[in-house]
Amino acid sequence: MAAIEIKNLKKHFGPTRAVDGISFDVEKKEIFGFLGPNGAGKTTTIRCMMDFIRPTDGSVSILGIDSRGAAVELKNKIGYLPGTVRLYDKWTGEDHIDYVRRLRKCNDNARDMAKFLDLDISVKTRHLSLGNSQKLGLILALMGDPEILVLDEPTLGLDPLFQDSVYELLKKANSEGKTIFMSSHYLGDVERICDRVEIIKEGKLVAAEGVRDLKQKRIYKVQAFFAGSFDRNAFEIEGVEITSETSESLSMDVKGDINPLIARLGNFELRDLQIEHASLKDIFLEFYEKR
């Protein structure tokens, strides 16, 4: 039995088809990525899973139980982190933890997690930064030892150091047997942690990928500034496209493995080198636009 089964899920808001007939399964103990640009339908799908909104058609089944018919029973087994954590600004972190502990009727493992994440839970949440609010949201999601974690953009707005702490925490949870479903619009997020990825665009699934395949779909934007003369023809490499050039520099798009280009650049003296990941939007345009 799959941990999460989504069948022909549709959610329409008037004429807007936020989610339009998606189906997929998430296996138990899997870290599953749900990737898509902003407005693709990720959050709507998650809200249907959490029974915050009701599907226009289709079904969501979690641990074999219909998410709508037995929402209360299911939520004992689900930890949820919203995309933007909304907290009671007059409460402290401890107040939030106490409130969720009473609703979940669970033992309190939150203080240990707060220590691990270096979060002061004694201050009122209106004084918390975005990152610290996200930490508290993550603690609330993990309270009660849920079997499944549903995380909507778990690293949104976080600095890289804290992102590492979140990944560490999620990997630990996964190693303890938890199934993790996480959405993101950053390719890097899902690459780092997920076993498998579904890609959604304009409410429809456009691809299911293993993470290894997904890595092949990386696009880098490279700008090389040369200290002396250079041979343009040296950069006629498979997967490398020269997008602009001057007498001193080359701009290139690289699809897939970047190492052949790096090796070739090593033959020239460089003044500067800039490498950026292409946005998910660019990747979609390149690989999924025609689907």
Partner 1 sequence: MSVILRRLFKDRGITLTIFCLAGILLIWLYVAFFPLILEQAENLRGLMESLPTGLLRAFGIENLDIFNIEGFLTYKHYSMMVPLMLIFLMASLAGSGLSGEVERGTIEISLACPVSRLSIYFGLYFGGLVMLIIFTICAVLPIFPLAGIYNTAVVSNYHFLVGVMSLFFGWAVFSLSMLVSAVNSEQRRTYMVFGGIIFVMYILDLISALVGSVSWMKYLSFFYYYNPNYILLNNSIPAIAILIFAASAIVFTVAGAVYFRSRDIAI
Chain residues in the site for partner 1 (CB under 8 A)? 47, 50-54, 71-76, 78-80, 82, 84, 86-88, 90, 95-96, 99-100, 102-104, 140-141
Q: How far is the CB of 146 from partner 1 (least distance, A)?
A: 10
CA distances from 213 to 64, 67, 134, 202 (A): 30, 31, 30, 22
Q: For strand 249-255 and strand 240-245, is the pairing parallel, antiparallel, or unpaired?
A: antiparallel
> Closer to partner 1 at the Cβ: 134 or 284?
134
Q: Where are the alpha helices (DSSP H) in the chain?
A: 42-49, 71-75, 93-104, 110-116, 130-142, 160-175, 187-193, 211-216, 259-265, 280-283
| C-beta closer to partner 1: residue 179 or 214 | 179
CA distance 88 to 29: 32
Q: Which is nearer to partner 1, 71 or 275 (CB)?
A: 71
Q: What are phi and psi of 262, to 5 degrees?
A: -60, -40
Task: Tell me how far, at minimum, the Cβ of 119 lies from partner 1, in Å.
Answer: 17
Min CB(250)–partner 1 separation in Å? 46
Nearer Cβ to partner 1 (79/222) = 79
Q: How far is the CB of 50 from partner 1 (least distance, A)?
A: 7
- Identify which of residues 139 and 187 has a Cβ nearer to partner 1 in the complex: 139
Structure tokens at 115: 């220590």
Whether residue 34 contacts residue 183, with contact meaning beta carbons closer than 8 Å, is answered with yes
In the complex, minimum distance from the CB of residue 112 to partner 1, in angstroms, rounded to a whole number: 20
The amino acid that residue 101 corresponds to is R
